[in-house]
Amino acid sequence: MSSKKDPELPAQPKSGFSRRGFIRGVGIGSGVLSTTGLLQQEAAAAPAAVVGPGPVAITLNINGKAVNLTAEPRVTLLDAMRNYLDITGAKRVCDRGTCGACTVLIDGKSVYSCTTLAIDAQGRKIETIEGFPVDNPVSVAFVHNDGQQCGYCTPGFVMAAHGFLREHPNPTEADVEHGLCGNLCRCGTYMGVRKAVVEAGKAMKGAKNA
């Protein structure tokens, strides 16, 4: 992947734009804002760490390894992985937190990486499907139960299933319907997915961390 080291990336602006400065400027010229007081209070508070809008150094803890990239603060965790780090198991499908194809675990919880900023994921433990062996029990159960067709939604389902099983180690199919309703499939693999997650739960019972 070239772009993470591309010399043609714009340099980070020296005179950084800051939200705090912006609020001050608006506050002076705007009666509406100054009467609320809230924004002024915020502006007067201890300075927040300000980054961007140009590219910034970002360090992510992905699958137990620290990885570095330089990207603008608006870059989502999903785009950081796919476009900057060549970590492509998580897919960009709806890009709006609806379909779950981009699911990763952050500090053990299922998260839509398309609606998480990469800068906000710093200092947290990110698990992607690449961090699990090919034969992890959930993926194996998806194969056994043919819970996949085109497979584009599958990594998201597998990650959501891992997150779900950590909290519900021995679910029924009805539990799975509830727990995985944040993921969508277009080929229609739900029959296999339901069975797969129940089977994975049984296989992992007692296992500390799959």
Partner 1 sequence: MPDTANYSWPPMDKRKVIGTSPLRLDGPQKSSGRAKYSSDMNPKDLLFGIYLTSPYAHARVTSIDTSDAERSPGVKAVHVAAKAGTEMQWEGWEIAAVAATTEEQARDAVRKIKIQYEVLPHLVKDDDLAKAGTRARQGGETVTGDPDQALKDAEAVSEGQYNFAVVTHCCLEPHGQVIQWIPGSDPSGADDHINAWPSTQNVPGYAGTLGTDLKVPATNIKVRMDYIGGGFGSKFTPDAWANMGANLSKKAGGRPVKLYLERNTELMIAGNRPSAYGKIQVGGKKDGTITAWTYQGWGSGGFNPTNPPDQPYIFTKVPNSRRVRTAVSVNGGSQRAWRAPGNQAASFLTCCAIEDFAHKIGKDPLEVFKINAPYAARTGATETYLYQLDKAAELAEWKQLWHPRGEGSSGTVKRGMGIGVGAWNGLGHASQCRTVINPDGSVSIEIDSQDLGTGTKTIITQVGAETLGLPMNQVKLVIGRNDLPPDGGSGGSTTVGGVSTSTRKSSVNALNKLFAVVAPDLGTTADQLEAVDAHIRVKGNPNKSVTWVAACRKLPNAISEMGTYNGRQQDTDGLATGGAAGAQIADVSVDTETGIVKMNRYVAVQDCGMVINPRLAESQVYGAIIMGISTALYEERVMDQQTGKMLNPDMEFYKLAGIADIGNIIVHMDIRPENDKRGVIGLGEPPAIPICAAVANAVANAIGVRVPYVPLTPDRILTALEGRNG
Contact region with partner 1 (CB under 8 A), list: 18-26, 35-43, 83-91, 115-123: 83-91
Compare residues 18 and 98 and give the one whose CB is closer to partner 1: 98
- Nearest Cα to Cα of residue 92 among 103, 105, 101, 81: 101
Which two tokens mark 165?
A: 């099983």
Least spacing, CB of residue 184 vs partner 1, in Å: 5
Q: Can you tell me the distance from the alpha carbon of 80 to that of 92, in angstroms, rounded to the nearest whole number?
A: 12
Residues numbered 34-73 forming contacts with partner 1, rule: CB under 8 A:
71-72
Instruction: Please check whether residue 118 is in contact with residue 82, taking contact to mean a CB–CB distance below 8 angstroms.
Output: no
Instruction: Please check whether residue 102 is in contact with residue 114, taking contact to mean a CB–CB distance below 8 angstroms.
Output: yes
Contact region with partner 1 (CB under 8 A), list: 21-29, 164-172, 173-181, 201-209: 173-181
- Contact between 162 and partner 1 (CB under 8 A)? no
- Contact between 2 and partner 1 (CB under 8 A)? yes
Phi first, then psi, for residue 52 (nearest 5°) are 80, -170
Least spacing, CB of residue 114 vs partner 1, in Å: 10
Compare residues 27 and 182 and give the one whose CB is closer to partner 1: 182
Least spacing, CB of residue 144 vs partner 1, in Å: 7
Q: C-alpha distances in angstroms, 186 versus 92, 113, 189?
A: 14, 20, 8
Query: Which residue is it, tokens 């390894």?
Result: 65
Q: Can you tell me the distance from the alpha carbon of 31 to that of 67, in angstroms, rounded to the nearest whole number?
A: 46
Write the DSSP symbol of residue 94.
S
Contact region with partner 1 (CB under 8 A), list: 19-27, 40-48, 118-126, 147-155: 147-155
Least spacing, CB of residue 134 vs partner 1, in Å: 4
Q: Can you tell me the distance from the alpha carbon of 153 to that of 93, in angstroms, rounded to the nearest whole number?
A: 9
Judged by CB under 8 A, the number of residues near partner 1 is 69
Region for residue 64 given its phi and psi (left: phi exceeds 0; alpha: psi -120 to 50; beta: otherwise): left
Q: Quick one: how many helices (H) and strands (E) in the chain? A: 8, 5
Of residues 113, 121, 183, 201, which one binds partner 1 by CB under 8 A?
183
Contact region with partner 1 (CB under 8 A), list: 4-12, 18-26, 163-171, 202-210: 4-12
- Site residues for partner 1 per CB under 8 A: 1-3, 6, 8-10, 71-72, 74-75, 79, 82-83, 86, 88-96, 98-99, 101, 128-130, 132-136, 138-140, 142-144, 146-155, 158, 176-178, 180-181, 183-194
